[in-house]
Structure 1
């Protein structure tokens, strides 16, 4: 199958940039939300501990808050929102960099042959995407060995 430069840039490169950008933003929002919850809950413990001598129910509340903090931190470790945010953002920006270097015919794209320039773009973009897929599979299939 042969596609034009315009098709490739729109249907593959732009699509991948948008996908990584969206995923990065979602991961960032989720990470910051859960970390914000941990900060607020952690900061509330010293305040609530002061009420324990007067109302014993606060001891249970503080215990529940501790369990929530541990649960949220455990979830953050499993879901890897922070790692995904950073990784997706890096890939998005790398793909954008390749796109703009290609469009301006600078760096590795400073060549005489338009065919060779496009071929180089495709090879570099597909390599970036492929490497990310391999890294993702490696991280997410780690069974503890």
Structure 2
């Protein structure tokens, strides 16, 4: 495979994918976290000013439930972790690309294309492995029964 084709088809595509996914996860995180904070700030005010007003108490209850749901969504989907991980991967790939294109760093003495490809593929593979760990860490694992008892 030619250098330009690899960079254009594989590397730039991966950089764009990780950058886009990072932005999406960042936006989700900020939206849900901001909503959670605003709702949490409103609830005590509503409760304090709800004397005799059933609808205000009801709204405070609904907002409290929404806070719990939003917290669960943030924990389950791990938007912040994915945002940071995807951004780091995108930046690592860009860094590797710039080092190779400018024949800097390790490419100063060894501008071998195969070394470049190995390093890029390692970064992508490592991110895939890290992503798997994020997904696994959010699953609840059933306890294994002790059969020796």
Deviation at 1:88, TM superposition (A): 0.2
Query: What does the per-residue CA deviation read over 1:59-85, in whole Å, with 9 as the maximum and x for residues that have no partner?
Result: 221111111001001001001100000
**Structure 1 Cα separation of the partners of residues 134 and 75 of structure 2:** 12
Which of residues 107, 127, 136 is equivalent to 1:132?
127
After TM superposition, which residue ranges in structure 1, 4 or more long, deviate above 4 angstroms? none
1:61 and 2:56 matched: no
In structure 2, the partner of 1:84 is 82
- When normalised by structure 2's length, the TM-score is 0.89
Which of residues 22, 35, 44 is equivalent to 2:42?
44
Deviation at 1:52, TM superposition (A): 1.4
**Structure 2 Cα separation of the partners of residues 85 and 27 of structure 1:** 5
**Structure 2 Cα separation of the partners of residues 13 and 111 of structure 1:** 22
CA RMSD of aligned residues (A): 1.3
Query: What does the per-residue CA deviation read over 1:92-114, in whole Å, with 9 as the maximum and x for residues that have no partner?
Result: 000000000111101111125x4
**Structure 2 Cα separation of the partners of residues 140 and 50 of structure 1:** 41
Which of residues 110, 114, 123 is equivalent to 2:118?
123
Which of residues 1, 4, 28 is equivalent to 1:30?
28
In structure 1, the partner of 2:140 is 144
